[in-house]
Amino acid sequence: MNHLEQPLEYQLRQEARQRELLDLYENQDWEGLLSAAELLNTALSQQLTINRWLALEAADNLAEAYEAHRRASHGTSQ
């Protein structure tokens, strides 16, 4: 199983986004901060949808592989 590790590129992006948000806050750029929050909310929703789809696809693929193995090991073909 692969370990879940955040690549350095993503860590750097996260740090850059954090700095952007802090700058917006410190400059009291409420419009910019709201825009960033809306963008991040949309990105989170999309990512959750993708994660769910990937999990369902993986589960379906595992179930199909299990059934194929089971049929092959029992000598039945359906």
Asked whether 24 and 37 are in contact (CB, 8 A), the reply is: no
Mention every residue, 6+ apart, whose C-beta is less than 8 A from residue 17. Answer: 40
pLDDT computed for residue 77 by the predictor:
53
Percent of residues, the chain, with pLDDT higher than 90: 88
Query: How many residues comprise the chain?
Result: 78
pLDDT tens for each residue of 37-67: 999 999 999 999 999 999 999 999 999 999 9
Asked whether 48 and 56 are in contact (CB, 8 A), the reply is: no
In our burial notation (b when 16+ CB lie closer than 10 A, e otherwise), range 29-48 reads eeeebeebeeeeeeeeeeee
Reported pTM: 0.70
